[in-house]
Amino acid sequence: MEFCLAASAATMWKHACSSSPRRAKCSSVNRWSVPANPLDLQRQLPITNYQMPRLSTKLLKWYRLHGRTLPWRGHPDPYAVWVSEIMLQQTRVEAVIPYFEEWMDRFPSVQALAEASEREVLNLWEGLGYYSRARNLRKAAKMVVDELDGRLPRSMDALRKLPGIGRYTAGAIASMAFGLDEPTLDGNLRRVFARLFNVEVPADSTEGEKLLWSIAAENLPKGKAGDFNQALMDLGAAICLPKNPRCPLCPLREDCQARKLGLQEARPVLQPKAEVPHVVHAAAVIVGRIGNPPKGTVLLSKRPSNGLLGGMWEFPNGRVDGDPARGLPKALKTGYRLTVRAGEALGVVNHAYTHFRVTVHVFSADLTDYADDKNLRNRRNLRMNENLKWVKLSELEDYPMGKIDRQIARKFLTRQNT
């Protein structure tokens, strides 16, 4: 049987307004407006529960033939699925695979992870970014071992009580590891559903999020949720690409509303992005010369556990305005109560975080009058002093760092050895 698919969700909603006796009132409604209950709109979508079994059959057949072979699939261990899903948050599969394999070698069980130190965990995670994920994995592992007899909970509610597990990750674990009929919604699924249903509500808005979750839940094939969710992920990764989607190869091409309208490149709709601010920092490479601190050491600071790069080690640094060399001593005095003299410029490191860009000017620096300087000896005078440490140059690789500081360390070590 062939199905006559109606207009897109937003188009249908606007049509309902235009045919209403209250047309004048409706015409003033924002074009992205949706009902308070997204299910009310979802039920008007062109592909309903009636059609979805046919689509899921096509999709699962494609998945059996073309699904990716990944190290956490096959015989899913809940712990392995959990680790993989945390690593995959905002990170490409290709980048995750080597980290996952090394992780499972080092921490093969939730017990092994619970017994690991934060430094071990962060060191292995270095380079994946979003380091709160690693800290939360360790915290959650300790909870599972201490409070749950070492077993990952099966229910969505219980999973979401663990640090770092939100709705998406809980749904992925529940469906893929435990075979439960739970939806999930990552970036790939958002894109596939937005195109398949030609959803005009911005996918990154509150309304769009509710609508897409409703679509995912309403159209989940019972008893096959894990494979269905993974099939959609693979379809989004291999076929339904963000740019230049490979529509001729898609098993759902005949049912895709955005494709029928020539709008696949315009879906999903996203809200305008705010301008990304740019900040300038100066960082100091402070080397031990002779005596105390010993020669061959460098001063590092450990960041607070909470916040950006929590628990990672870095070179003392601070935000500067104007000339970075002039601003460095003031920045370190303010942030660390260190008295320094900026020396040779070692280089510049640029990096982009999710919400801002940073340029770091790196200088060698000396602590002035160190023998009489109380800053590193009197811990009461320095809020972060307990987190300052002289580290041997030969041991820098053992201290977990963000990308900026690892670049600084390697540039500095190169210069020291030439």
- Helix residue ranges per DSSP H, 276-323: none
* Least confident among 26-35, 67-76, 221-230, 323-332: 26-35
Find the catalytic residue in 85, 182, 200, 314. Answer: 85
pLDDT (0 to 100) of residue 221: 93
- The reply to whether 265 belongs to the active site is no
Mean pLDDT of the chain: 84
The mean pLDDT value for 6-19 works out to 38
- Give the Cα separation of 337 and 145 in Å (integer): 41
Structural tokens at position 7: 């207009």
- Give the Cα separation of 280 and 357 in Å (integer): 9
pLDDT (0 to 100) of residue 29: 30
Indicate if the pLDDT at residue 28 is higher than 90.
no
Question: Cβ(46)–Cβ(198) under 8 Å?
Answer: yes
79, 82, 88, 89: CA torsion to nearest 10? -150
pLDDT (0 to 100) of residue 292: 58
More confident residue, 349 or 20: 349
The mean pLDDT value for 277-296 works out to 82
pLDDT (tens digit per residue) in 130-168: 999 999 999 999 999 999 999 999 999 999 999 999 999
Question: Cβ(195)–Cβ(267) under 8 Å?
Answer: yes
CA 97 to chain centre: 15
pLDDT (0 to 100) of residue 287: 86
- Give the Cα separation of 61 and 68 in Å (integer): 13
* Least confident among 14-28, 297-311, 325-339: 14-28
pLDDT (0 to 100) of residue 49: 47
pLDDT (0 to 100) of residue 74: 76
Strands (E), 48-119: none
Phi and psi dihedrals of 391, rounded to 5? -120, 135
Burial class (CB in 10 A: 0-12, 13-18, 19+), 182: buried
- Give the per-residue SS3 of 124-144: HHCCCCCCHHHHHHHHHHHHH
The mean pLDDT value for 74-92 works out to 92
State the pLDDT confidence band at 70, using cuts at 50, 70 and 90: very high
pLDDT (tens digit per residue) in 43-66: 445 555 445 667 899 999 999 999
- Give the Cα separation of 73 and 84 in Å (integer): 10
State the pLDDT confidence band at 264, using cuts at 50, 70 and 90: very high
State the pLDDT confidence band at 382, using cuts at 50, 70 and 90: very low
Domains annotated on the chain, with CATH: 47-266 (1.10.340.30), 278-416 (3.90.79.10)
* Listed residue (131, 105, 102, 101) closest to 119, CA to CA: 131
Residue written as tokens 């999710």? Answer: 354
Indicate if the pLDDT at residue 203 is higher than 90.
yes
